[in-house]
Structures are given as structure tokens and as C-alpha cells.
Copies of this chain bind each other. A is one copy, B any other.
Amino acid sequence: MNVGFIGLGSMGLPMARNLAKAGHSVTAWNRTRARAEELKGDGARIAERPQEACQGDAVFSMLADDSAVEELFLGPGNLVAALGARTVHISSSTISVELARRLVAAHQAAGRDFISAPVFGRPSAAEAAQLIIAVAGPPQAIARCQPLLDALGRKTVIVGQDPPAANVFKLAGNFLISSTLEALGEAFTLLRKSGVDPRIFYETMTASLFAAPVYKGYGSLILEGKFQPAGFKVLLGLKDVRLVLGAADAVSVPMPFANIVRDHLLTAVARGWQDDDWSSLARVVEENAGL
């Protein structure tokens, strides 16, 4: 298939590479062109302008935040108008439910297909094509793009026919991860200040009741206080929790755990840790206990 890719950050680059490796013809664009050059060895074509990436069977967008997506697709860039008649826009960025809804309207008005397909996984999972992809949109559009999604992840979950559903799904997942960070931080801090080695607790729990990747991976980072290099930065985590709270506010859902996570991430920023891994919110918990 002919596929465009817009946004070659730490997630986008390996995703685009995997599409090329799977035999698809990739046209990639990135604001900073130097970054795009890294794809050349994989046989991808580097676009001069983002419009060039919007003419194939589909185009992925994987951008940093709402404002980047809005600027390129709805605002000055107006890429929605540049989409080919049969080009499906696959939005994989973690964006607000509200922007997803506006994108739906803009694509409908332009007579173009739009699906939301945010992904779960760190850059290493993107490289290994082991992402989990939550997809929502018109069934035929999803079906057409399935070979592309298969090249990126180990599992595609169809969440519904309304694209924003996938964005809520993604935000709910990130919320669950962030709650785990806080809960582990509190449990470890209680143990440590009580003179109990949290490592034994970590090993016991992750070998039984909580034998899950999120507990194993993040629990280990928190125990070791290893917040650099950041797999996912405090600032990105904060952005996502804001999106969670915004989505919840829009449907009148109080989320007290999300409040606490947000507050601790704000404190992390206020202390200058914005570029540390977001698991450093556990460090805020520790400092609140005098550690």
C-alpha cells in the first residue's frame, strides 16, 4: 500500500520504519527534515511538504499534542483539504477527545475518511512492532487499513465506530498507568519509612497478584529511582492527565485519583523535573513523607 507518515518523533520514526519494512511504500514528512533522513535507508521517500504525504491509501499522523495536530490539519496547514479522495487519515497522536471530535467534523465536511488509532507502548515497543493499537472509525476504513496496523503492533482493538471513542480509550489506559505509579509510590514509601525493604514487596507482588508489565517495569524504575533517561517525560504525562481530566469534565465524571496524579506531576514540574520519567511522581510522594 502507499502510505504517508507525518510526525517522526520517538514513536513515529520506528512506526514509519516498520511500515516500510513490511513492504509498504512510505512517504514521510517531519517538521525537522534531518530527522526524516534517518528513514532513507529503509526505502522511505522523504516529502518536502506534508501535503505530499496525504495522497496514498492512508496517511498516519503521530504528533506531539493538540496544537501540533490542530495547526497542521485544521489551521494554517489545512491538511484535511489536501487529503486524496481515497486517502484515510489515521490519527495516532494522543490528543483530546474534543479535538478528535472536531477532526471528525472537518473530515466529514471534506468527504474524507478519518479514524483514530492511538497506540499503547514505549518507543522500544514501537521498534519491535509490539504496540497495542486502539482503533475507532468507520468499519470499512478500518478494514482497508488493517494491513498497515498489522505492521505496527501485536494487537488491534476495535473500540467503536466513532473515532473519539479510541481517544477516550487511550486516555483511560494512560490514567490506569499513572494511578499505578502513584499507588506504588505510596506503598513503597509506607514500607520504607516503616523499615521494610520495598524490594521484597515489589518482587512478591509482581510475581503474584500484580504480575503485570506495568507493575514490573515501573515498579523497578521507582525502586531504583531511575528517572533518567525518560521513557515518557513528566511533561507528557502531565499533558495526558490534563486530557483525561478534560474528557472526564466533559461528561461530568469526577476522577479523584487523576487529580492527585496531576497535582504530583505539577509539583514535579515545579521542582524542575519536567524532563524526568513521569514515574518520578513517586519521588514527590517520597518527599512529602520527608524522604
Chain A interface residues toward B at CB < 8 A: 97, 120, 132, 134, 155, 157-160, 162, 164-165, 168-169, 171-173, 175-177, 179-180, 182-184, 186-187, 189-191, 193-197, 200-201, 204-205, 207-215, 242, 244, 247-249, 251-260, 262-264, 266-267, 269-272, 285, 288-290
Contact A290 B271 (CB under 8 A): yes
Known A176-B210, A179-B182; further 19 A-B contacts with Cβ < 8 A: A159-B196, A159-B197, A169-B191, A169-B200, A175-B183, A175-B190, A176-B183, A176-B205, A179-B257, A182-B257, A183-B257, A208-B213, A210-B212, A242-B249, A249-B262, A256-B263, A259-B263, A272-B290, A288-B288
Contact B155 A208 (CB under 8 A): yes
A182 to chain B, nearest CB (A): 6
Contact B252 A270 (CB under 8 A): yes
Contact A160 B196 (CB under 8 A): yes
Contact B173 A205 (CB under 8 A): yes
Contact B195 A253 (CB under 8 A): no
Interface of A is mostly: helix
**Chain B residues with CB under 8 A of A173:** 187, 201, 204-205, 209
**Chain B residues with CB under 8 A of A201:** 159, 169, 172-173
**Chain B residues with CB under 8 A of A180:** 183
* Identity of the chain B residue whose Cβ is nearest the Cβ of A238 in the assembled complex: B249
Copies in the complex: 4
* Identity of the chain B residue whose Cβ is nearest the Cβ of A204 in the assembled complex: B157
**Chain B residues with CB under 8 A of A171:** 190
A59 to chain B, nearest CB (A): 25
Contact B186 A258 (CB under 8 A): yes
**Chain B residues with CB under 8 A of A254:** 262-264, 266-267, 285, 288-289
A236 to chain B, nearest CB (A): 15
Contacts A195-B162, A196-B160 given: A120-B209 contact, CB under 8 Å? Answer: yes
Contact A172 B190 (CB under 8 A): yes
**With A and B bound together, what is the CA distance between A193 and B186 in angstroms?**
28
**With A and B bound together, what is the CA distance between A84 and B187 in angstroms?**
37
* Identity of the chain B residue whose Cβ is nearest the Cβ of A286 in the assembled complex: B253
**Chain B residues with CB under 8 A of A164:** 194
